[in-house]
Structures are given as C-alpha cells and as structure tokens.
Amino acid sequence: GQSSPEPFTVSRTLVADVIGKGVSVFAHDASSDARFSEGQSIIGQQVRSVMCVPLRTTDEILGALYVDSLSGAGRFNEPDLELLAAIGNQAGVAMHRVRLMGELERLLLDTIKAIAATIDARDGYTHRHSERVAALTGQLAREIGLTEPERQTAELSALLHDVGKIAVPDSILNKPGKLTPEEYAEMQKHPVHGARILENIQSATVKAVLPGVQYHHEKWDGSGYPEGLKGERIPFLGRLLC
C-alpha cells in the first residue's frame, strides 16, 4: 500500500463501527461520501471505494474484514459487498472453530499436566521429578538451538515422560528396598505404558511427545530399556530426555 502520515485512521474507525454495530459499511465512491469527508487516509491514499463487513459467528462478532480500491481502479458494487459478507461469515465461523480448538487443546494439556503431577505425588521418591526434568529439558533445548515449538514439545514430553507409572503397582513404585528382578522388569514397562495411554488422545501436540515418553530410558550404548536401542536409533526426544 501507499505510505500515509496517518495510515489506516479511517480503516480503524470503520472497523470499530462495523464491530460495534454488526453491520456492513459500503461506499461506492468514498471521496464523495459524507461519512469519509474528514478521513485523511481516504484523501492521502486516494481511496476510491470501500467495503467493510463483520467477521461473525452465530452469536458474536470476532472482528471485521476491510478492503478498499485506489484511484484508477474499479469501484466496488453490491455483488462485491455480498461476496465479501459471505466470506466474512465463513471466516468468522472458521476463526471461532480455531479458537474453540485452541481452548480445548489448552484444557486437554492442563488436564494431562494435572495427571502427571498426581503421578509424581504418588511416587514419594520422585516428587515433582517431572517438573524438574521438564525445566532441565527446556534449558538443554535452548542450549542446542532448538526452535521454540521444538522446545515446547520437548518440555511437554519431559513433563509427561513418567505418566506410564500409573500402571505400576504401589508395592513396586514405593518399595523402600531394592526391587527384585521381576519387580524391576515390571517397572521397566512404564515407558511403554505411558506411550500407549497417550497415543489414544487425538491431538497432534500430544502425539509429538510420544517418542520422548516411550524412549526416555534408552541409553546410547544400548543398555537401556524398553527396546535396548543404540545410538541414533534412539528417537531424538528419547535421547534428549535421557
């Protein structure tokens, strides 16, 4: 667009009006329309024609969609306004769905984090262990240059890495002495239990953490569990958490 001392002044006024009243604004010829007689950006940018429609859902207005044409371009007409209004309605519904999905995702993650905290509290030896591992994982992720989304995935994986302990009996989880070979074998199943529990959740965010949950006890030399993987055969998140 062209530069202006006060860019989008009229646009903001229009948008506020459209959002406040929930009605479309249309000016076939903005320069001769009394509503824009004092609009400096209309004059400075030589705006010829303006349309602004609400982005609406069934029960609320989320924003507005604004378009204009400059001098030398064609003027908008009623069919253009109808098309823009239809686009505004569709966009509003889409935005509403995205917002709802985001709220559901946050609720899901908060619930999972609460479960992880409960499991940590159940295991007196490792109280708040998952929180500490998540904090250290975040620091390590930054140190090795992971992106912000990658860091968030790594931290969430760390926070959830012991969720499979929910399937480990208390008699083993809180045994004061050394575990028997049979008890230790049962304890070694918790990474697989955790991955199987979480893989039932239909969320891309949760699915991304599964490698860390399932493989956080694998070791570079192959002496870890549950699969005894070696070196780079261990998924990256598993190596990072270990």
Q: Which residues carry out catalysis?
A: 165
d(CA 213, CA 194): 6
Burial of 154 (0-12, 13-18, 19+ CB in 10 A): buried
Beta bridge partners of 50: 27, 68
> Side chain identity at 69, as an amino acid letter?
S
Measured CA to CA, the distance from residue 13 to residue 38 in angstroms comes to: 11
* Total residue count of the chain as it appears in this document: 242
List the strands of the sheet with 25-27, edge to edge: 25-27, 47-56, 61-70
CA nearest to 161, candidates 122, 116, 123: 116
Phi then psi dihedrals of residue 4, to 5 deg: -150, 145
Backbone dihedral region of 201: left (phi > 0), alpha (psi from -120 to 50 degrees) or beta? Answer: beta
**Amino acid present at 34:** A
Closest by Cα among 42, 22, 44 to 32: 42
3 state SS of 5: coil
Measure the CA angle with vertex 83, ends 80 and 84; round to 5°: 85
